[in-house]
Structure 1
Amino acid sequence: MANTKDNTTKTRIAAVGDIHVREADQGKWEEFFREVSQKADVLLLCGDLTDTGRATEAEVLAKELKSCSIPVVAVLGNHDYEREQQGDIRQLLLQENINMLDGDSVVIGNVGFAGVKGFGGGFDKAMLGMFGEQKMKEFVQEAVDESLKLDGALARLDSEHVDIKKVVLLHYAPIKATVVGEPEQIFPFLGSSRLAEPINRREVEAVFHGHAHIGTLEGETSKGVKVFNVSKPILEQQGYEYPFYILEV
């Protein structure tokens, strides 16, 4: 959808992560997608779209999404990579006109959405560095690469569009605050501060992620960018009847 270039326009963004759709979920999500279509202008799915990374689970999700009448933007999560079928999962959803982002961006209304899966590596002073065994360097490099992909997507939005607000969707967390509640020992596997660098520098409006099922709903980066952990279990714990978070930008 073309940018409206109208600063008074507001876009209602609904977001949820970790829906973990299973093969037995036929019919389970239709009411959810109809409800979100009534409440929002766009739906963000923040990874772990499938439960065990099977393409057959993505087929179920694609069918359920036919009940959704608003644009959908999504990234994959670690569960979607479990069986090395992530390419098939992505293609099945692309065929249903789902905007699948992996270092890509899309403009809907007055908002430009940029997305990557992200990766682990830890936060702040506890962030892992590029030192030691080759396998450790490869782990850190994955987080660096995801951060660079995100920066590239945001840069393209900056160069190709004016007067839009930028929103980022991830699976892994870019800050520690929204994973607090999880065991501290696993923080390095829940996200990386490297993701926050382009978010801060590119003047992003808001960030949505999932992955940390018992983390914290809301936090912010060191530059004050709002970050929301919209993992479905967190939203359910917060008492949302339909587990999606709404933000108007």
Structure 2
Amino acid sequence: MADGNGTFRLAAVADLHCRQDQHGRFRELVKIVNGEAEGLLLAGDLTDHGTIDEAKTLAEAFALLRVPCAAVLGNHDFEGGVVKDVVRILGESSIEVLDGDHAVFDKRVGIAGVKGFAGGFERAMLQAFGEPIIKAFVQEAVNEALKLEAALGQLDTPMKIVMTHYAPIAETCQGEEAEIRPYLGTSRLSAPCEAFGACAVFHGHAHHGKTDGRTPKGIPVYNVAMPLLRKLWDKRFRVFDVWEGGCTPVTPGPELVVTTH
């Protein structure tokens, strides 16, 4: 828990991919988070196929959570076509789903959240040129970045955190097949983080990526996809100390191995 020096202890995980038949799978996770953290972030792909039954299964476990929880949706959460119902069910279990808005923990930590989108990174970022369908694809990424900018603009907390599902930098996608990396995120998401001085960014989606990276201006970025954390450290979530202007992993320590597949 917090040590009284102005830090906030935050747990974070993504890509739970909860299925209907997994009653009880996340109860132990919730129990440990209750004892180790002051708040929890869930960075997308909360369900496996975006169904009402999957959302109910997850909500059942998280009803036991005693710390504030904010989440964003991931691509899997849209598969069932019942997003509004998924958000409602999770909300009834005190999981606050963000989509271009924000949550505040303990009056100190503001979390701006969006799903994000794909499109590639840096000089290889897809541009809005040519066929209308390409322009529409790029516009979706632009819209998500604008929503993130609006959410950050609403925050006046001393600590500002960004949560997305798609990656805002290429570095945390290293380890994924090169051919799919443009579909795992876009650099368009990193600009608002830097403009508004975020302490850290958390995302998922890149199951085979790298856990730690930084934006071009040095903001720490953490890939907290559960499959990656379990592969590297046999952990289901990661814990961080956040303070005004920074963020440090508590455990596990700095990543030593970059895995590929």
Structure 2 residue ranges without an equivalent (≥5): 243-261
Structure 1 residue ranges without an equivalent (≥5): 1-6
Q: Normalised by the size of structure 2, how large is the TM-score?
A: 0.89
Q: Distance in 2 between matches of 1:52 and 1:106?
A: 26
Alignment match, 2:170: 176
SS at match of 2:32: helix
Aligned amino acid, residue 188 of structure 2: R
Q: What's the Cα RMSD here? A: 1.1
Report whether the alignment pairs 1:107 with 2:110. Answer: no
Q: 1:207 aligns with which of 185, 193, 201?
A: 201
Q: 1:65 aligns with which of 62, 65, 83?
A: 62
SS at match of 1:247: strand
Report whether the alignment pairs 1:135 with 2:129. Answer: no
Alignment match, 2:186: 192
Alignment match, 2:256: none
Report whether the alignment pairs 1:39 with 2:32. Answer: no
Report whether the alignment pairs 1:123 with 2:116. Answer: no
Answer 1 or 2: which has greater helix percent.
1
Alignment match, 1:245: 238
Deviation, 1:97, is 2.0
Q: Deviations over 1:112-156 (max 9, x none)?
A: 100000000000000000101101101000000000000000001
Q: Comparing both chains, which one has the higher relative contact order based on Cα–Cα distances under 8 Å and sequence gaps of 6 or more?
A: 1
Aligned amino acid, residue 181 of structure 2: F
SS at match of 2:202: strand
Deviation, 1:10, is 1.6
Deviation, 1:8, is 4.0
Q: Deviations over 1:159-205 (max 9, x none)?
A: xx25x110011100000000011111111110000000101111000
Aligned amino acid, residue 118 of structure 2: G
Q: Percent identical across equivalent pairs?
A: 46
Answer whether contact 2:63 2:94 (CA < 8 A) is retained.
no
Q: 2:82 aligns with which of 81, 85, 92?
A: 85
Alignment match, 2:254: none
SS at match of 1:227: strand
Alignment match, 2:11: 14
Q: Distance in 1 between matches of 2:130 and 2:37?
A: 47
| Count, aligned residues | 238
